[in-house]
A and B are shown apart, each in its own frame.
Chain A
Amino acid sequence: MEHAMAAQTAFSNEGERHWPIEGWTRVPYWVYTDPDIYERELETFFYGPTWNYVALECEIPERGSYKRSWIGERQVVVVRGENDAIHVWENRCAHRGARVCWKNKGKEDSFTCPYHQWNYALDGRLQGVPLKRGVLKKGGMPSDFDNAQHGLRSLSVHVEGGSIWASFSENPLPFAEYCGEDVITNLRRQFPGKKLRLLGYNRQRIPGNWKLYFENLKDPYHATLLHSFLITFGLWRADTQSESIPGEAGHSIMVSRNVGKKKTEAAAEIARFKESLELEDSDTVTPRPEFSDGKVVAITHFPSVVVHQQANTFGMRHVIPKGTDSFELAWTFFGYEDDDEEMTRLRVRHANLYGPAGFVAMEDGEVLAESQLGVHHYGHRAAVIEMGGREVERQDHMVTEVLIRAFYKHYRSMMKL
């Protein structure tokens, strides 16, 4: 009986995991619901040889400042150590596995696990074990116990213009190489090395598979249709000069331009263009020119973050998976330390577009939740991804799903599917 059940399970998994013959123009819905696939994704991407966004330097301004963050479902702590060195270590005591750091943010001279008070330096080295030599010559650690072998597990760290990235791999690719040329160029455009200023957070729990979020930001097609706020006020429209650029390692870039409110032939075709709609506070949709190239750029940096620049708002959208059907989206809004008062005011206002209550982003949370509900128990069906053709090369428009196709090309090769 047991044997028969095992055989049946194996058979049904195999059946469900058949990738449609059309290839990357189809996405089988089991990629959003299968727990085994999810575990493999965590190992392959988040815990594998990737670079993951964890924090901004401006969040941990002083020696000993720290912040808890996530890579996949694993919690890590990001710490500013001696001589401004940035350390990232697993929030898991080397002794019994308890979380060492119990607060989201703060400042410490060293970290002591509350359970047995093992004490760690800012870089994660084990400094002290209470009662290591025992009491009254009884107990204690074996004489050959070596503190150096029992520190917190440290990760590889890279700092790029004030953004902090970490990898569980001891020998990851150099960060710029992992990004690829287009992505690193666009990252450096927004992170040129100027000091950053933290403006605040938004945290959202979206009941959908974490990949849906990356796909959402690889889908300029939906943005021209769903988000009437963007369309109406000219922040993102199909009839502007734009680019859809697939990158290395699952990354991609969408480029558009803020053109303002205007009626064109294309706009007339877009049902959600609201010609008569006026805001009383037009500041919310009026960017102050900032980049000489006039572009609006959204980078999906796989597997951990979407980086946005839209109007005058900048944000890191950290994607933190929480099972097959849920993820946390942790938004960190920021500007530059040398922004004038007016620019900071605009950045905070324009952030009304984003977060769980954003004029734009709220709608993404809604459609992603409904997508997850829609695919539930339809693992044998597949999404059709043919807008803009069936190829995976860059395109100079946004009426396309090329970035999703290119993503699944990478995904299948990494996941061996």
Chain B
Amino acid sequence: MKDRIVPIVQSVPRSAEIISMENGLRSLYEEIADILDQDEVEKFPSYFIDDCMYQVVSRENYSEALPQAAIYCDGIHMVRDRVTALRETQVFVPRIWRHFISGVRITGISDGDIHARANFLVTEAMSDADPTVFLVGQYLDVLVHEGGSLKFKQRLAVFDNHHVRRSLIFPV
């Protein structure tokens, strides 16, 4: 079983190069948030390399190093299967989600792997109710260059919520 990559957190110089890389990451994160918010989840797997890890996991499991995750994808096939299930089999009440991302930060660079983190907040609105805060947490990411663009080797959406309210339907 593949373990989660432990984030590298070192003192990264606040150089023009790093700041420019962070701007690039911020733009990438906003692009992904946008495709999710616009219900274009089919594009989501294209942001991952084949040998990837994608998890939406509670802080409880993450801090105890327990392997279980609410959404657990080991490899691109499992990421694509999430999309297939969402579109083909799953029954849920339609609603609108909106991602808010802040604090994008590169925390370490090692052998071409970029370790980065960011905060996320996702709101949820049912068609007959006002939006509520659905999930809040932190992305812990490892990105690599592949085919001229940055892709996720690992994306962990570690949420601070004690509970998931009702259902977790879409990727975060």
Contacts and interface: CB of A to CB of B under 8 A. Distances in A.
Interface string B61-82: 1001011111110110110110
Interface residues of A, number: 43
A344 B1 contact: yes
A130 interface: no
Nearest to A348: B67
Contact of A203 (B58, B77, B78, B92): B58
Contacts of B77: 279-281
Interface of B is mostly: loop
Contacts of B81: 279-281, 284
B89 A200 contact: no
B167 interface: yes
Contact of B92 (A198, A207, A349, A363): A363
Interface string A107-125: 0000000000000000000
A272 B89 contact: yes
B5 to A, nearest CB: 16
A333 B81 CA distance: 22
B166 A365 contact: yes
Given A277-B88, A281-B78, A356 B66 contact: no
Interface stretch (B22-30, B137-145, B157-165): B157-165
Contacts of B168: 355-357, 362
A365 B93 CA distance: 10
A274 interface: yes
Given A280-B81, A359-B85, A203 B163 contact: yes
B60 interface: yes
B84 interface: yes
A205 interface: yes
B68 A205 contact: no
Interface string A87-118: 00000000000000000110000000000000
A345 B67 CA distance: 9
A205 B85 CA distance: 23
Looking at A202, A357, A369, which has the most chain B CB atoms within 10 Å of its CB?
A357
Interface residues of B, number: 35
Contacts of B58: 201-203
Contacts of A228: 88-89, 91
Interface string A231-246: 0100000000000000
B88 A356 contact: no
B53 interface: no
A325 to B, nearest CB: 12
Contact of A204 (B85, B93, B166, B169): B166
Interface of B: 1, 56, 58, 60-61, 64, 66-72, 74-75, 77-78, 80-81, 84-85, 88-93, 162-169
28 contacts: A105-B64, A201-B61, A201-B68, A202-B68, A203-B162, A204-B163, A204-B164, A204-B167, A207-B165, A207-B166, A229-B85, A232-B89, A272-B89, A277-B89, A280-B77, A280-B80, A280-B84, A284-B78, A328-B163, A341-B1, A349-B72, A349-B78, A351-B68, A351-B72, A355-B168, A362-B90, A362-B168, A363-B91
